[in-house]
Structure 1
Amino acid sequence: MVILTAIDRDPGCKGVVETAHDLATGMDMEMVVLHVIPEDGNEEAAREEISEMVRSVVGDLDDVDLRIVPEQTRRDLPTGRTANHILQVAEEIDPDYIVIGSRKRTGLGKILLGSVSKLILANANVPVVTVEQKRKAEA
């Protein structure tokens, strides 16, 4: 059994990792942490930053499958590239749950389509757990 946890580099994702880790531990599941970097992004820097963030929550990375995936521009993707990369990994590993962060939006932001979390919620074939990302990481 697997939990796929998709995070970005925002320090507010610590709560997402913590929720996923609690679920994985409580249900004796494997935890896969996924981060999609921009095509022109520094993969090594992203790996270090994401590793440190996850390590600060779970301790060590021995029981975590950390995946850093470079985003690729593809014309055949019907929705946002990042969301599709997450959904593609989900299709490959067949998780039991997906855990993602969601930023609180107000007014027009709630109406506009395009947020990664909305696209994952609308297109995932498994239950999705959303965790509110705090604007600033809590100490």
Structure 2
Amino acid sequence: MVILAAIDRDPGCKGVVETADDLATSMDMELVILHVVPEEGDEEGAREEVTEIVRSAIGDLEGVDLRIMPEQTRRDLPTGRTANHILQVAEDIDPDYIVIGSRKRTGLGKILLGSVSKLILSNAEVPVVTVEQKRRAEA
């Protein structure tokens, strides 16, 4: 049994890691934490930042499968490449739950489509737990 937590490099996603770890611990499940590095991103820098976020949230990486995955351009993914990569990993590892962050949006932001969390919520084949992700300034 597996929980997949997808996070970004924002320290505000610490709550996502904490929630995923709490669920994994309470249900005796494996925890996979995934970060998708944007196409032109710094993979090594992302690994360092994400590792620090995970450590600050749950202490250490013992028992955690931390995956840093570079985003790739694919013609079959017209939109939401990051979300589609997360969904592909979910399809590959067949988790029981996906845990993601979601930032509060106001006004026009609530209407606009395309956010990673919205695409995952709409397309995941397993239950998705969303955790309010604080903005950097609030973290």
Cα distance, 1:136 vs structure 2:
3.4
Distance (whole Å) between structure 2 residues aligned to residue 130 and residue 137 of structure 1: 20
* Deviation at residue 78 of structure 1 after TM alignment: 4.2
Give unpaired runs (5+ residues) of structure 1. none
1:72 is aligned to 72
**Pair 1:18-2:21 in alignment:** no
The CA RMSD over aligned residues, in Å, is 1.2
Identity fraction in percent: 85
Residue correspondence of structure 1 range 72-91 to structure 2 within 5 A: 72-91=72-91
Q: Which runs of 4+ in 1 moved over 3 A?
A: 136-139
Residue 98 of structure 1 aligns with which residue?
Answer: 98
SS of residue in 1 equivalent to 2:86: helix
In structure 2, C-alpha distance between the alignment counterparts of 1:60 and 1:18, rounded to whole Å? 12
Partner residue of 2:63?
63
Provide TM-score, normalisation by structure 2.
0.96
Give the secondary structure class of the aligned counterpart of 1:114.
coil
**In structure 2, do the counterparts of structure 1 residues 138 and 106 end up closer, same or farther at CA, with 3 Å as the change threshold?**
closer
Deviation readout 1:52-72 (Å, 9 max, x if unpaired): 110111111111000000001
Q: What CA distance in whole angstroms lies between the structure 2 residues aligned with 1:137 and 1:59? A: 22
> How many angstroms does 1:138 deviate by?
6.2
Partner in structure 2 of residue 38 of structure 1:
38
- Identify the residue that residue 7 of structure 1 maps to in structure 2: 7
Q: What is the TM-score when the length of structure 1 is the normalising length? A: 0.96
Q: CA deviation at 1:79?
A: 3.2
Counterpart secondary structure, 1:41: coil
Going from structure 1 to structure 2, the CA distance change for 1:137 and 1:107 (only over 3 Å counts) comes to closer
Deviations 1:15-74 (A, max 9, x none): 110010110111111100000001121111111110111011111111100000000111
- Separation in 1, partners of 2:112, 2:11: 24
